[in-house]
């Protein structure tokens, strides 16, 4: 039957229910137990023959003469229901048989028992339709094989696939564990603006918008970094924010235009102290999210409780590219990029070339938990210079992170270098932020900071990052535009 015909049939059922005095969309439910709670207390509830009321979506039904077995799920668990004509009466049974379809929400009252096959079941004495669906669910997942359809109709994906629902439960635990750890360490959770006059704190092209009330153009933030550092200047010792970030970058399975990120800044910390803190943070997050410290990633076992390695940026770069960063110039990097199939014309400046080569040729080889330390100054305009080599900065990476710059003169010079890159056509170059430099001139204590996005959660789940968000942005289908 065509979808339009199914919908028309269901609408007719709604009208017939209303004519018979039944509201197919009542405003309330008398549910007494979540299904998971009822199943967890099954022995006591079933032995007492106590009537309980459950509610949920009908996912399947199986008729046997004058009786029907069916499954309902309320999001916490699934349970089997059993309704029999002899118990509820012929009229009520006919309503259930003819008007309750898979996809509908129902409320069922009765007692729990075990079938001969030892399946936990509720024998229905009374029922009520809570919501009459107008469109059919996919048949046992077969209707949502297409990945694009799964993303466009994520709600159906989550209805039919318990593994996907559990994924987002784990994601909630991921951010809860992050927040709990940082608060326990003395961190203050704050909120900073999403709309900014000058986007800064990262190398990324921003989204632009316009505020009518002030008649001014604004940008969606690409990082909360500069505002958080202003709070350190203001006297807060440890601050962090978990919030949305927006970057106008390419769209694929591994990149999102808006996503959740945590950034933290701890005063009186250097990058050595921060690395010890971050190692414990990652171990805590992994254990709380997964229930264990180890997991599989691309057929390789990753154990966050193992001894963490230290990777020297220069040594690893030379190991996988044969290029010595202390000796190479921009021309050498351009030539290498062309040799390995990287479009050098898309990446302006020495820092951008180093970064893209690193991401393509080096990073894929660094899978074990550890810290990548002391990268070249060209790729990080906001990190403090390494005292033993001013061509490098005190920055480390697990996902991202580092010791943060607090010298206003040096900071202005590096912003000016970024401005030159922007004038040369680099849309991801950072903008000069006079307000931030002025804040530094009032004095910011030695500070170390770290940023972590939900890409770490995707890594823990061994999933593309687009699969670990509820509703990834999708290009409309042609027929959706009409």
DSSP state of 267: E
Do residues 463 and 384 share a domain? yes
Q: Is the dihedral of CA 175, 180, 181, 186 positive or negative?
A: positive
Of the listed ranges 13-22, 40-49, 377-386, 402-411, the least confidently predicted one is: 402-411
- Residue 150 CA to residue 160 CA, distance in Å, equals 11
Q: How far is CA 44 from the centre of its chain?
A: 39
SS3 143: helix
Per the CB < 8 A criterion, the answer to whether 403 and 280 are in contact is no
Beta bridge partners of 81: 70, 122
Q: Show the DSSP H helices in 291-433 as ranges.
A: 313-321, 330-339, 350-357, 408-423
pLDDT computed for residue 400 by the predictor: 28
Task: Round to whole Å and give the CA distance between 480 and 482.
Answer: 6
| CA nearest neighbour of 473 among 252, 260, 262, 261 | 252
Domain-ending residue, one of 72, 103, 137:
137
Question: Are residue 41 and residue 182 in the same domain, yes or no?
Answer: no
The model's pLDDT over 131-182, given as tens digits with 9 standing for 90+, comes to 999 998 887 545 556 677 788 888 888 888 888 999 999 999 999 999 999 9
Query: Rounded to an integer, what distance in angstroms lies between the CA atom of residue 201 and that of residue 225?
Result: 5
**Cα(397)–Cα(451) distance, integer angstroms:** 9
Does residue 131 sit in the same domain as residue 190? no
Q: Higher model confidence: residue 43 or residue 445?
A: 43
Report, as an integer, the average pLDDT of 274-292: 95
From 108, 137, 166, the end of a domain falls on 137
In a shared domain, residues 284 and 185: yes
| Residue 416 backbone phi and psi in degrees, to 5 | -65, -35
Does any domain span residue 263? Answer: yes
Nearest by Cα to 355 from 390, 322, 388, 330 = 330
Helices (H), 322-454: 330-339, 350-357, 408-423, 434-441
Here the tokens at position 399 are: 């996902």
443-469 pLDDT tens trace:
567 888 888 899 899 999 999 999 999
Q: 405-431: per-residue pLDDT in tens?
A: 344 444 444 445 555 555 556 555 555
Q: What gap in Å lies between CA 356 and CA 346, rounded to an integer? A: 10
Q: What is the CATH number of the domain that holds 168?
A: 3.30.930.10
Residue 439 has a pLDDT of 61
Instruction: Give the pLDDT band (50/70/90) at residue 109.
Output: very high
Looking at the structure, do residues 183 and 63 belong to the same domain, yes or no? Answer: no
Confidence tier at 401 by pLDDT (50, 70, 90) = very low
For residue 41, the domain's CATH number is 2.40.50.140
Burial 453-466 (b: 16+ CB within 10 A, else e): bbbbbbbbbeeebb
Least confident of 36-50, 326-340, 380-394: 380-394
Quick check: 316 and 366 in contact, CB under 8 A?
Answer: yes
CA distance 404 to 421: 22
**Residue 243's closest CA among 197, 194, 200, 282?**
194
Provide the pLDDT for residue 173. 97
The b-or-e profile of 236-256 (16+ CB within 10 A means b, else e) is: ebbbbbbeebbbbeeeeeeeb
pLDDT, residue 426, reads 56
Q: How far apart are CA 269 and CA 351, in angstroms?
A: 26
In this predicted structure, what is the pLDDT of residue 320?
94
pLDDT of 75-103, one tens digit each? Answer: 999 999 999 999 999 999 999 999 999 99
Show the 3-state SS of 171-206.
HHHHHHHHHHHHHHCCCEECCCCCEECCCCCCCCCC
**442 pLDDT exceeds 60?**
no
For position 448, what pLDDT does the model report? 85
Answer yes or no: do 97 and 229 share one domain.
no
Question: What mean pLDDT, rounded, does the chain reach?
Answer: 86
Handedness of CA 236, 240, 245, 249 (dihedral sign): positive
* pLDDT classification of 118: cutoffs 50, 70, 90: very high
Residue pair 314/370 in contact (Cβ under 8 Å)? The answer is: no
Residues 25 and 108 placed together within one structural domain of the fold = yes
Rg (CA), the chain: 29
CB proximity list for 125: less than 8 A, separation 6 or greater: 51, 87, 88, 109, 110, 111
What is the reported pLDDT for 258? 92
- The answer to whether residues 262 and 386 belong to one domain is yes
Q: Phi and psi of 347, rounded to 5°?
A: -125, 105
In a domain, 316, yes or no: no
Whether 440 and 293 map to the same domain: the answer is: yes
**Do 95 and 191 share a domain, yes or no?**
no
Structural domain span for residue 205: 157-308+368-475
pLDDT tens per residue across span 287-346: 999 999 998 888 888 899 988 888 899 999 999 999 999 999 999 999 999 999 988 777
Residue 344 lies in a domain: no
At 91 the pLDDT is: 94
pLDDT recorded at residue 184 = 98
HSE-CB for 361 with a 13 A CA cutoff: 22
Distance between CA atoms of 226 and 205, rounded to whole angstroms? 16
Residue 429 lies in a domain: yes
Specify if 347 maps to a domain: no
Residue 252 lies in a domain: yes
Q: Return the pLDDT at 479.
A: 58
Neighbours of 445 (CB within 10 A): 12
pLDDT at 193: 95
Partnered with residue 218 across adjacent β-strands are 209
Residues 370, 312: contact at Cβ < 8 Å?
A: no
Q: Report if residue 333 sits inside a domain.
A: no
Is position 480 within any domain? no
pLDDT tens for each residue of 198-232: 887 777 789 999 999 999 999 999 999 889 999 99
Domain end among 137, 168, 198: 137
User: Rounded to whole angstroms, what are the CA distances from 114 to 57, 111, 363?
Assistant: 21, 10, 54
Tell whether the model's pLDDT for residue 42 goes beyond 80: yes
Task: Specify whether 408 is located in the same domain as 263.
Answer: yes
Same domain, 383 and 440: yes
Number of domains in the chain: 2
């Amino acid at each position: 039957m065509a979808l339009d015909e199914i919908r028309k049939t269901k609408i007719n059922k709604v009208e017939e229910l209303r004519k018979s005095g039944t509201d197919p969309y009542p405003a309330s439910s008398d549910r007494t137990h979540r299904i998971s709670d009822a199943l967890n207390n099954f022995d006591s509830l079933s032995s007492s023959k106590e009537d309980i009321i459950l509610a949920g979506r009908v996912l399947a039904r199986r008729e046997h003469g004058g009786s029907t077995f069916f499954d309902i799920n309320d999001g916490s668990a699934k349970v089997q229901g059993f309704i029999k004509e002899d118990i509820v009466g012929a009229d009520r049974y006919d309503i259930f048989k003819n008007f309750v379809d898979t996809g509908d929400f129902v409320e069922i009252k009765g007692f729990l028992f075990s079938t001969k096959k030892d399946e936990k079941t509720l024998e229905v004495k009374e029922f009520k339709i809570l919501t009459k669906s107008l469109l059919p669910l996919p048949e046992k997942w077969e209707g949502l094989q297409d990945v694009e359809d799964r993303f466009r109709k994520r709600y159906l994906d989550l209805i039919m696939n318990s593994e996907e629902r559990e994924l987002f439960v784990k994601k909630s635990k991921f951010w809860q564990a992050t927040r709990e750890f940082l608060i326990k360490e003395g961190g203050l959770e704050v909120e900073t603006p999403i709309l900014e006059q000058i986007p800064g704190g990262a190398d990324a092209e921003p989204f632009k918008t316009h505020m009518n009330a002030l008649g001014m153009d604004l940008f969606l933030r690409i990082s909360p970094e500069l505002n958080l550092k202003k709070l350190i200047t203001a006297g807060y010792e440890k601050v962090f924010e978990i919030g949305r970030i927006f970057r106008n970058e390419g769209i694929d399975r591994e990149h999102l235009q808006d996503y959740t990120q945590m950034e933290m800044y701890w005063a009186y910390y250097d990058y050595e102290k921060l690395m010890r803190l971050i190692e414990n943070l990652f171990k805590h997050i992994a254990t709380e999210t997964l229930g264990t410290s180890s997991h599989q990633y691309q057929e390789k076992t990753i154990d966050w409780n193992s001894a963490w390695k230290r990777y020297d940026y220069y040594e690893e770069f030379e190991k996988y590219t044969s290029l010595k960063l202390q000796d190479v110039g921009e021309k050498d990097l351009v030539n290498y990029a062309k040799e390995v199939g990287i479009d050098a014309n898309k990446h302006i400046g020495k820092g951008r070339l180093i970064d893209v080569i690193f991401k393509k040729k080096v990073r894929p080889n660094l899978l074990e938990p550890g810290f990548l330390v002391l990268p070249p100054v060209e790729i990080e305009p906001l990190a403090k210079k390494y005292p033993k080599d001013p061509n490098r900065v005190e920055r480390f990476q697990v996902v991202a992170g580092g010791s943060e710059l607090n010298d206003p003169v040096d900071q202005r010079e590096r912003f000016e270098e970024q401005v030159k890159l922007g004038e040369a056509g680099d849309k991801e170059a950072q903008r000069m932020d006079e307000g931030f430099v002025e804040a530094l001139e009032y004095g910011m204590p030695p500070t170390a900071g770290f940023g972590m996005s939900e890409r770490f959660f995707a890594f823990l789940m061994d999933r593309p990052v687009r699969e670990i968000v509820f509703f990834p942005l999708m290009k409309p289908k042609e027929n959706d535009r009409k």
